[in-house]
Every structure is written in structure tokens, then in C-alpha cells.
Amino acid sequence: MKVSCRKKIALNSKKEAIVIPVYKNMRSIKQLTGKRIDDEINRIISSDYFNYKEKEIKSFYMEINKKLKKIYLVNVPKELEEYRYYMELGSKFAKICRQDMIYSFSILSFEDIAGEKKDFDHIKSFIEGIYFGLYEFSYYKSKKENYELEEIEVITSSTKLKKYMDTYSEEIKTLFGYVYKAKDLINYPAGDIVPDTFCRYLKKNLPEGVKLTEYDHNELKSKNFNLIYTVGKGSENKPKLAVLEYRGDSESDKSIALVGKGVTFDSGGTNLKPTGSIETMKTDMAGAATVYAVVSALAESGVKVNIYAYLPLAENTIGGAAYKPGDIIKSYSGKTVEILNTDAEGRLIMADALSFAIEKDPEIVIDIATLTGACVIALGSHCAGLISNRKFLAKNISDISYDISEDIWELPLYEGYTDRIKGKIADLQNISTKKREAGTTIAGLFLREFINNYPWIHLDIAGTAFLEDEHPIFGSNASGFGVRLLYHFIKKYYTSG
């Protein structure tokens, strides 16, 4: 999708529609639309046809240069709202575009309509909402809808906004290309995305500049990645560890470590999940899909940063070779772990990957995982959990999450619960014996055992990665949550230019 800018609506434009934000008693906008269109808009919004309901969108046809052109009037507040308001509006309008088969349109910028031009993230948020609203997973449909929005033209009197959109439109397109790929990976059935096919997908879809190294199950065993190996050994689809390397800043020795949980299907193992909890467990590799997308978007955009990303991939299944409660496993770090529940497998594979990640002496370690049902109980499906061992990191990433409408909430890394992961016959145990208490914090404390006090952010996306009910921005099914959040966080705080 192309995004362009123009200072005034062109009456000879080939765009199929014009989108005009309006509010009650709106001032004249003829400097952007011309007198004839301005007069017609004022007539419509003064009539009973327009009700000024929140996010109301009404349309009519107008003859311009002997051609009928569709005009959409969108009710907006007079004063600029939070960015999420415009993302929701964009997602809603994308569905109208698909329904009405609109392939291109012009839109007057919200900043121009409100007369406020301190920043231009409102129209940018609308465009990002459009991208979310346009996504459709149709890979398995025999009849595929052949629709694609081709161009959005932003009408603005501001040369700064034009420059801003010219700068960021290509970046947004690249970023959402990988948001879509992450969503696709999460939406694929578990039978089609197993550790091996995930790695094959990486080989085919990594951009130039990203190096892939794979460790198969034999190498996992020989190199003492015993937690990853053990979680996946019960499946005929054997576990793997994929490592992505992007060196975007050759002048720096600093690097970032990203770790994404990649359980391609989680049956719960010997502690089998019940009906109602197992059906969507193809999504338990959302952390790995997110990390792949973040690294790829940074690389394709040419961001100056060095990243090592670790994707532990395994199927957690039942069977004669599957691990069992009571097993004790020596981790890559050397610490031993007693298994009290095989359905707490994500923290196990993450632990080995985290131990491996800190060997590169990273500036920061960030992990993202669909880790605990407790996080869903605490925060629901619209908000992810955040745990960090540095307060400034928690604040920095929380500020970005607010601006881009990917909501996170910090949960405590409460020291008083540390004893709950200490083992009686091993160094650690993978769950607390105190049932139903502070499950997300317990998981965070377990992961912390493997990072050696490096600056660390943990994101639990168990609720946000896959949405069974419609979200006003992200829709339903795979959300792509976390790709934009980590991309913007890394770009803002960890790049050299």
C-alpha cells in the first residue's frame, strides 16, 4: 500500500473516494477541499442525515468533473484524541473499504481539521489502524478474496506533515509486512508449523542481512540444551533451536538479545490440558513468531543495531518418550530443575535460551512468551504482563506501549516468593507448590535465575497474542501484538542513528 501527500484535493484525482473528518459546527475547510465540496459537506452535516455519533461514518456520492465520487464523512472530536482513537477508526474504516471495494482514497489529516500540528502521529495511527483492519488469513480458503488497498493520499497544508509521511510511509509498510507474517505464523495449524517447518519458513522469509543458525535435537543434547531437548523429545517432530543474527551496526560491539518462546503445540504433556484449554495451543509459538518479525523488520529497515535472537522450538506432547512430573533435568546453565508440572514447559525452553543468550554479553535481554494463564486471569486478553529487573526499562517500554496502543502492565518481581521456586531435591522446581498464587510472578522469578542479573524485560503475551473475540484495532485470532512494541523500543533506545 502506497501512502502519499498533497496540499489540496485534486478535482481530477483518480482516487475513488474522499474521507473527510468532521465535527459539529466545524470551520470551513475550503482551503483543503475547494468551495464546492466544502459547501456540500456543510449541507450534509447540518442535516438529519448525520447524527454525530462516536466514530460515525456516513457516505454519499458527489459529481466531480462529470464523475461520481464517494465521499465518506467521519465524525471525530473537535480536539485531537489519544492515538488509539484513530487506530480504532482506521481499523473500522479498513473494513468499509473492503466491503465497498475502495482501492484508493484521499483523506484530510486530523491535524489539519483540528488546527493542531504539534505532532502528526494521529494520521499515522489511522494508517496503522488501516493496516490492522485489512489483514485477512485466507491461506486455507478455496476461494480467496482478491482485494488490496493500493493507495492512501493524505491531504495536508503542512509541509512538515508531508515530510513526516514521506519519511515514515515506507517504514510502516515494511513493519506491517512482518506484522502480517507473524500473524500468519501464529494462525497456521500446528500440523503445518512444527520446529522443522518453522525453521524452513525462516530460511525462506528472512531478509538480507539476517543470518540463521540451527541446532537440531542431536546438537541440543550434545551441547547440553537439556531443557529444550527434554520438552520436545516426546514428539516425532523433534525440537530445534534457531538463532538469528543481525549486525546492523558494524562500528559497535554492543548487542541486544531477544528470546521468543516457540512451543509449536502445547498439549500440556503428561499433565494434559483439558478441553477448553487445548484448542488454541497452536499459538504457543507466538513469542518466536514475534521475535522473528522484529529482527526482520529492523534489518529490512536498515536500523543500526546488533541483535542476536534465540527461538527455542518444541512440541510439548504426550507419549512414552515424553518427560514426566518428578524428572530432574540439568539445564544449559548447569542448574538442575525438578519438574512438578509438564504444562509449565515454556519457562524451561526459555531458560536454556536465556542462558545461551547472555554468553554474548548483551546490553539488554528481552524475552516474549505466551507463558502463563495466570497473566490472562490478571490482565485479560487486551493487556500483556511486564516484568523487569530495572525500573527505568519498565517505564521506557510502558511509555511506548501507551503511544502505540499495545497495552502492557508491570507485575511485581516479588522477592518474597523466591523460595517458592527453590527445589527440595534439585536447585529449582518449575512451579510453586502454592497453587493458584502469583503464577506470572513465579514464572518471572524462575526465568530470572538464568539471566545473571543482566538488564532484562519479560513480556507475557498469553492473553494478547491470540484474540478469540473481536478487538477494535487488532481484530480476532492472531493479533501481531509485540512486533511494533519491540521494534519501536529498540529503535528509540538502542540504535546509534
Residues with catalytic roles: 273, 347
Distance, CA of 365 to CA of 390 (rounded, Å): 11
Would you say 167 and 4 are in contact if contact means Cβ atoms under 8 Å apart?
no
For residues 23 and 4, give the distance between their C-alpha atoms in angstroms, rounded to a whole number: 25
Residue closest to 366 by CA, chosen among 384, 343, 342 = 384
d(CA 355, CA 22): 55
Q: Provide the b/e sequence for 19-42 (b: ≥16 CB within 10 Å).
A: bbbbbeebeebeebbeeebbeebe
Closest CA to 306 of 490, 103, 118, 80: 490
The C-alpha cell that represents 354 in the structure block = 536465556
Q: Work out the number of other CB atoms within 10 angstroms of the CB of residue 220.
A: 25
Q: What is the distance in angstroms between the CA of the first residue and the CA of the last residue of the chain?
A: 27
Place of cell 548483551: 362
